[in-house]
Structure 1
Amino acid sequence: MTNRTFMTVEEVAAELDVSKSYAYKIVKQLNEELKKLGYLTVAGRVNTNYFRKKVCYSEV
């Protein structure tokens, strides 16, 4: 995995070892949380740092 700002649905699915359809649900949920916090989101992508924080990979 490279150091990129956003992760694609495919990368989320591979990282969590889940189906693409489930990864879409995860990305959508995380993006909804980010929108409520006032952040701009990109459909089908999620901020890498936020993803890692929510799945307990990082304290960032």
Structure 2
Amino acid sequence: MENKNTENISLESKLYTAQEVATILGVSKTTAYREIKRLNAELEAQGYITITGKISKRFFNERAYF
């Protein structure tokens, strides 16, 4: 049975991957994973659910220096 209250929200459009973070920051993919891990730890400390290797675009853009 389909839940009519659920909207089709693409998580892909709300999250950056490690490759995207690496490209944005101009760093290696390994460094991007390290930064994502650090940022996700901040989110977890605030009670948010995180996904390994991905970061909220909104949170990343708030924390990035541009």
Question: Structure 1 segments of 4 or more deviating over 6 A?
Answer: none
Per the alignment, residue 45 of structure 2 pairs with: 36
Number of aligned pairs? 55
Cα distance in structure 1, aligned partners of 2:14 and 2:22: 17
Q: Secondary structure at the match of 1:34?
A: helix
TM-score norm. by structure 2 comes to 0.79
| Higher CA-based Rg | 2
Q: What 5-or-longer segments of structure 1 have no aligned partner?
A: none
Query: Which residue, 15, 19, 28 being the options, matches 2:28?
Result: 19
Q: What 5-or-longer segments of structure 2 have no aligned partner?
A: 1-11
Identity of aligned residues (%): 36
CA RMSD after TM alignment = 1.3
Over residues 8-53 of structure 1, what are the superposed CA-to-partner deviations in whole Å (9 max), with x where a residue is unaligned?
0000000000000100100000000000000000000000000000
